[in-house]
Structure 1
Amino acid sequence: MRIGLLTDGGYPYATGESRLWCDRLVRGLPQHEFDLFALSRSADQEQQGWVRLPDRVGRVRTAAMWTHFSEDTRHTGRPRGLTGRLATGLGRSYGRRDRRRFTAHMAALVGAVCAGAETGPEPEGVDAGTVAGLFTDGLYGLAELAGEHGGLHHALRSETTVRIVETACRAPGTGRTVHGATVPDYLAFVAELERSLRPLSLDWYDEDGLGAVDLCHAASGGAAALPGLLAKRFFGVPLLVTEHAVPLRAHYLAAPEAPLGAPVRALLANFHGLLASEVYRQAALITPGNTHVRRWQERFGADRNKLRTVYPGMEAERFAAVGEGDDEGGPATLVWIGRIEPAKDLIALLHAFAEVLRAEPDARLRIFGAPVQGAEGDTYLAQCRALAAQLFPDEATDAHAVGDNPVTFEEIGGPEVPDLAEAYAAGGVVVLSSVVEGFPISLVEAMFCGRATVSTDVGAVVEVVGGTGLVVPPRNPRALADACVALLRDPERRARLGAAARARALELFTVEQNLAAFRGIYLDLVGHAPSRWTTPPDPGDPAGPPRPFATPPEAHVLGALPPGRIAGALPAGAARPSAGVAVGAPAAAGASRVPSWALDAEGVCAGARGAGDGDA
């Protein structure tokens, strides 16, 4: 079958979220074809280029979410690439009837956003069903208008939209924050709203685009799933949503630092909340990457009957040599691995290690990582180095060798630590000190390596670790230090926890289990989906041929079929299947292929036997 993989700021770009998971999914399911529909988030991401795509990727369509609305994303010569053109319809030729339609749809959408901008997904004093109905009426109405006119960019940025936002913000019943919005806030919200709704104006919604796939698989919610919503509405394509983190949660966490006023942040938060609720409502199945994500999805309306947890798949072979070896690494060494940023709370870790060092003078802490890009990451790394120099004045200097310092800041790839597995092998205990975490990848990698772990209770940490590691409250250096000292003083316990951790990781978090889950999900969703039409049917004349799978699983028959045994199953004049068609091999042009369920035990097409062929 043909899968439309929808991504936002990730695959097929070389940088971004979910790129490794998506690449493993595409390469690990060779029986399916994939079309990619990707939204990019920055100029730097596009300059980094794409990863090398396998042959089973048929088409790639991309669109920029970071450019000005009048700019168009151009193809840069990559293989099989197609861009999503950003049309600029509904300009000066916008007729009176269409102006009324646009005003009505935009007023419904913005009115729903303003109704609960300060109270979350269940606004007080306002019926949640009414708000959701207004939002979806406005959203799909704008989508239909965009489809008729080739885009909505000028209309979404027009003075009409600004006045609609102003009216909605000043309407009775809106919260104090939104009611106090000013003209700069209206303009800022309109600009952000246009970017969020930009997928409505792409040229992906046609029979050769999203209409040609059997299933849309959104690699995250939010903007990435918006094309899937429209594919379902206009073509009946089932929608599968996978979230390893929650984009809505990330939006809330980033909001206080965003260069936007409080009214704009409140409006955007409610817009994304309403969009997430609609995505969950329309999805045929939702696959959270862990229970932490699942709880967020349920809070915003996801039906429990649609939820199925599928853990991200990770490559266990990369860490097999360390995990299966007897070397315990540095038995008195703590290892921390990750991106150096405030959310990882290295400050608390350094304070905790000062307590560890008092109890165990031979202990060492090796920090492997690089700061996140930007001034914030460099500033935080400098703060951590300064704190280390203050807490350990005699040892923490760059002039000393690695073995002489109780605390070292290192990067993976040097002569002493050439790869990631070697970094985990350098210590006897792996520490995670985060205050914010989604799915803790570094923790799973440590488990593959058979290392005992000490972690803070954030995100999906408890779910991942199970009973194979120690978990302490976040922002508690004393508890973190006590747990580390307990493991450093008990080598038998370290070994026992490390072996249990490796067994748990191999059972739950491998690429193989992830691929097996999605292999079954794809077949189940498409198998239960109703037949679709080649083009959207006319409500007055619904008759017409149903659309079969683009590439059905039964299309490839193993072995040769005797030409004379299937004659009765083929219409007059139809071409006969070629002999020796292998599983996964494309059929020759014009060749008919017989599905496996149409053959009996002898390989004869059902219905092809005559009366004397032994039928009961």
Structure 2
Amino acid sequence: MIVLHTESSLGWGGQENRTLNEMLGLRELGHTALIICQPGARLGARAREAGFPVFETPMRLAIDLPAILGLRRIMAHVRPDVVNTHSGRDTQLAGMAARSLMRRPCIVRTRHLALPITSRFTYSVLPDHVVAVSHHVARALASAGIPAERISTVHTGIDLTRYVAPAGGGTLRAELGLPENAPLVGTVAILRRKKGHAELLEAIPAVLARFPDTHFVFAGDGPQRANLERRIAELQLGAYVHLLGLRRDVVNVLASLDLFVLPTHQEALGTAFVEAGAMGLAAIGSRVDGVPEVIDDGKTGLLVPVHDPPTLAEAIIALLADPARRRALGEAAREKVRQRFSRLAMVAGMLDVYESLIETR
């Protein structure tokens, strides 16, 4: 099978990570995966590093005739069985390009976000089928009027072979000059307002009052960095909160932690929770959107209300105070991820969708 992905986003996040993971999984099973992206896109650079054919074309506007013609030429050359689109702009452009071909591929749109849709046309008309990354997203699409029979849920999966602690454990404590026995709580996420870093900062003083040796690490970069730095200074937390910036060694970061916390305001699924679970970490997340599909409250982690620093602090304190419970939750999270959120399971689900569409046509 030849699967051609399209992506108009220039950045890197969970959406782009899932796309590259699917491409890797398809290749492992003997299929051909390719991608069309914009010049300078980080997904294109990483796909090229991984040895995939990468085609580039500018996608300036939702209606962009040169882009449609460029996409059409690439598709006519590649002759894909499936075109899988990922963002609004590339869905519109690639969808029109694909539908203009004499030998038309099946068109799938993957919906990665837990936001209201802005164009039913790019869900109901252009694609043959829509894949949602969580049941929450699938329900939101159906409630927006997308026919339920044209929606499938395929949870985001990760390559479990990557999530193995380094020999001797993580190195963050040594890197930061922290004592070996200092509790380390952390998160891995882009520094955007909706990820809830600000609420975590507000919870930290209460945690330090109970466990004064605790340190917190934020791995990631983004538009909220300056605001977070300012609030850290206001709360006099500079000695306890460490902004690590963008890290490529996520496994090492997670292997260094005692507890993973991400009080996100909005999350289609929460790949960061999946990654934490793969490392055997108990996680604290928000009871919102698709997060409860990853975290079973009281079984693989804890769920707290959105925008509630006092309750968040209580949850962190409860798990720092009970290492045995924390380890048990982490092991249960590892098992759940192994069973439901592997890359193999994700690719199998996507292939089911692709093959069903091809057989129907």
With normalisation by structure 1, the TM-score equals 0.50
* Change in CA separation of 1:422 and 1:304 when aligned onto 2, cut-off 3 Å: same
Pick from 307, 313, 316: which aligns with 2:160? 316
Which residue in 1 is equivalent to 2:243? 409
DSSP 3-state at the match of 2:86: coil
DSSP 3-state at the match of 1:209: helix
* Change in CA separation of 1:293 and 1:210 when aligned onto 2, cut-off 3 Å: farther
Equivalent runs, 1:541-580 vs 2, <5 Å:
none
Pick from 316, 332, 346: which aligns with 2:197? 346
Given that 2:86 and 2:109 are in contact with CA atoms closer than 8 Å, whether structure 1 keeps it comes out as yes
- 2-structure distance, mates of 1:297, 1:335: 33
What RMSD, in angstroms, separates the aligned Cα atoms of the two structures? 3.5
Given that 1:339 and 1:369 are in contact with CA atoms closer than 8 Å, whether structure 2 keeps it comes out as yes
1:275 is displaced (CA, Å) by: 2.3
> Which one-letter code corresponds to 2:5 in the other structure?
L
Which residue in 1 is equivalent to 2:121? 275
Pick from 259, 264, 272: which aligns with 1:442? 272
Deviation digits for residues 507-566 of structure 1, max 9, x if unmatched? 12221112222233333221221xxxxxxxxxxxxxxxxxxxxxxxxxxxxxxxxxxxxx
Which residue in 2 is equivalent to 1:129? none
Residue 451 (1) aligns with residue 319 (2): no
- 2-structure distance, mates of 1:323, 1:456: 32
Given that 1:244 and 1:312 are in contact with CA atoms closer than 8 Å, whether structure 2 keeps it comes out as no
DSSP 3-state at the match of 1:466: coil
- 2-structure distance, mates of 1:333, 1:35: 40
Residue 24 (1) aligns with residue 21 (2): yes
Residue 425 (1) aligns with residue 292 (2): no
DSSP 3-state at the match of 2:164: helix
Given that 2:285 and 2:304 are in contact with CA atoms closer than 8 Å, whether structure 1 keeps it comes out as yes
Residue 509 (1) aligns with residue 341 (2): yes
- Report the structure, 1 or 2, having the larger strand content: 2
Pick from 210, 214, 222: which aligns with 2:88? 222
- 2-structure distance, mates of 1:355, 1:520: 48
- 2-structure distance, mates of 1:452, 1:422: 16
> Which one-letter code corresponds to 1:457 in the other structure?
R
Pick from 83, 108, 121: which aligns with 1:240? 108
* Change in CA separation of 1:280 and 1:20 when aligned onto 2, cut-off 3 Å: same
Pick from 93, 98, 108: which aligns with 1:231? 98
- 2-structure distance, mates of 1:53, 1:478: 44
**Structure 1 stretch 237-246 or stretch 469-478: which is displaced more?**
237-246
Which residue in 2 is equivalent to 1:367? 218
1:55 is displaced (CA, Å) by: 7.1
> Which one-letter code corresponds to 1:62 in the other structure?
E
Which residue in 2 is equivalent to 1:528? 360
Given that 2:21 and 2:158 are in contact with CA atoms closer than 8 Å, whether structure 1 keeps it comes out as no
> Which one-letter code corresponds to 1:480 in the other structure?
L
1:322 is displaced (CA, Å) by: 6.2
> Which one-letter code corresponds to 2:257 in the other structure?
G
Count of residues paired in the alignment: 347
> Which one-letter code corresponds to 1:390 in the other structure?
E
- 2-structure distance, mates of 1:275, 1:342: 30
Given that 1:455 and 1:470 are in contact with CA atoms closer than 8 Å, whether structure 2 keeps it comes out as yes
- 1-structure distance, mates of 2:33, 2:95: 15
Which residue in 2 is equivalent to 1:306? 150
- 1-structure distance, mates of 2:51, 2:272: 31
Given that 1:331 and 1:427 are in contact with CA atoms closer than 8 Å, whether structure 2 keeps it comes out as no
Given that 1:288 and 1:294 are in contact with CA atoms closer than 8 Å, whether structure 2 keeps it comes out as yes
Given that 1:425 and 1:449 are in contact with CA atoms closer than 8 Å, whether structure 2 keeps it comes out as yes
- 1-structure distance, mates of 2:188, 2:250: 9
* Change in CA separation of 1:351 and 1:486 when aligned onto 2, cut-off 3 Å: same
Given that 1:330 and 1:428 are in contact with CA atoms closer than 8 Å, whether structure 2 keeps it comes out as no
> Which one-letter code corresponds to 2:331 in the other structure?
A
Larger radius of gyration between Structure 1 and Structure 2: 1
DSSP 3-state at the match of 2:186: strand
Given that 2:5 and 2:85 are in contact with CA atoms closer than 8 Å, whether structure 1 keeps it comes out as yes
- 2-structure distance, mates of 1:285, 1:45: 26
DSSP 3-state at the match of 1:240: strand
1:211 is displaced (CA, Å) by: 8.7
> Which one-letter code corresponds to 2:19 in the other structure?
C
Which residue in 2 is equivalent to 1:85? none
1:54 is displaced (CA, Å) by: 6.9
* Change in CA separation of 1:442 and 1:330 when aligned onto 2, cut-off 3 Å: farther
- 2-structure distance, mates of 1:207, 1:422: 43
> Which one-letter code corresponds to 1:295 in the other structure?
R
With normalisation by structure 2, the TM-score equals 0.82
- 2-structure distance, mates of 1:323, 1:448: 16
Given that 1:16 and 1:45 are in contact with CA atoms closer than 8 Å, whether structure 2 keeps it comes out as no
Unaligned 5+ segments in structure 1 are 67-194, 253-268, 398-404, 530-616
- 1-structure distance, mates of 2:67, 2:85: 20
1:214 is displaced (CA, Å) by: 5.0
Given that 2:82 and 2:354 are in contact with CA atoms closer than 8 Å, whether structure 1 keeps it comes out as no
Which residue in 1 is equivalent to 2:327? 495
- Larger relative contact order (CA 8 Å, sep ≥ 6): 2
Which residue in 2 is equivalent to 1:8? 8
1:61 is displaced (CA, Å) by: 4.5
1:351 is displaced (CA, Å) by: 1.4
- 2-structure distance, mates of 1:444, 1:496: 16
Unaligned 5+ segments in structure 2 are 172-179
- 2-structure distance, mates of 1:16, 1:409: 18
Given that 2:218 and 2:242 are in contact with CA atoms closer than 8 Å, whether structure 1 keeps it comes out as yes
Deviation digits for residues 456-497 of structure 1, max 9, x if unmatched? 223321111124111111111111011111111111210110
Which residue in 2 is equivalent to 1:285? 129
* Change in CA separation of 1:215 and 1:386 when aligned onto 2, cut-off 3 Å: same
Pick from 31, 48, 62: which aligns with 1:196? 62
| % identical aligned pairs | 22
1:50 is displaced (CA, Å) by: 6.6
- 2-structure distance, mates of 1:366, 1:54: 29
DSSP 3-state at the match of 1:465: coil
- 1-structure distance, mates of 2:256, 2:35: 40
- 2-structure distance, mates of 1:366, 1:437: 21
